[in-house]
Amino acid sequence: KNEVEQSPQNLTAQEGEFITINCSYSVGISALHWLQQHPGGGIVSLFMLSSGKKKHGRLIATINIQEKHSSLHITASHPRDSAVYICAVRSLGPGGGADGLTFGKGTHLIIQP
């Protein structure tokens, strides 16, 4: 079973700061997802990646397959970025709950004005 670790668990920053959230996993994967969850529960998929780097607006996600590590960066952070950010992986072959994802515990981000 894949173990997914996120850091930090909690992060408070000032508006405009550059934010980095890290995710590491223990077993080879076919894909890694970054998800965002706002208060109230709804989860939105931000990125799905299996190699390299993806960018969407102020969000950048990178993955290093050899290192089994991914980072989510937020540039010019804003209070509306305050949310829980969750890393999730789909493992290669059996052992990852088949098509189900294995999730990190999430990073609770607060951006203060």
Q: CA 34, CA 72: separation in Å to the nearest integer?
A: 8
CA torsion 38-52-50-40 (nearest 10°) is 0
* Number of residues near other proteins (by CB under 8 A): 26
CA torsion 24-25-28-34 (nearest 10°) is -70
Return the residue of 45, 64, 75, 112 that touches other proteins, per CB under 8 A.
45
Q: Is 67 helix (H, G, I), strand (E, B) or coil?
A: coil
Compare residues 20 and 103 and give the one whose CB is closer to other proteins.
Answer: 103
Per-residue mark of binding to other proteins, 75-104 (x: CB under 8 A)? -----------x-x-x------xxxxxxxx
Return the residue of 53, 55, 78, 105 that touches other proteins, per CB under 8 A.
105
Q: CA 97, CA 90: separation in Å to the nearest integer?
A: 8
Q: Is 42 in the site for other proteins (CB under 8 A)?
A: yes
Binding residues vs other proteins (CB under 8 A): 1, 30-31, 33, 35, 40-45, 48, 50, 86, 88, 90, 97-106
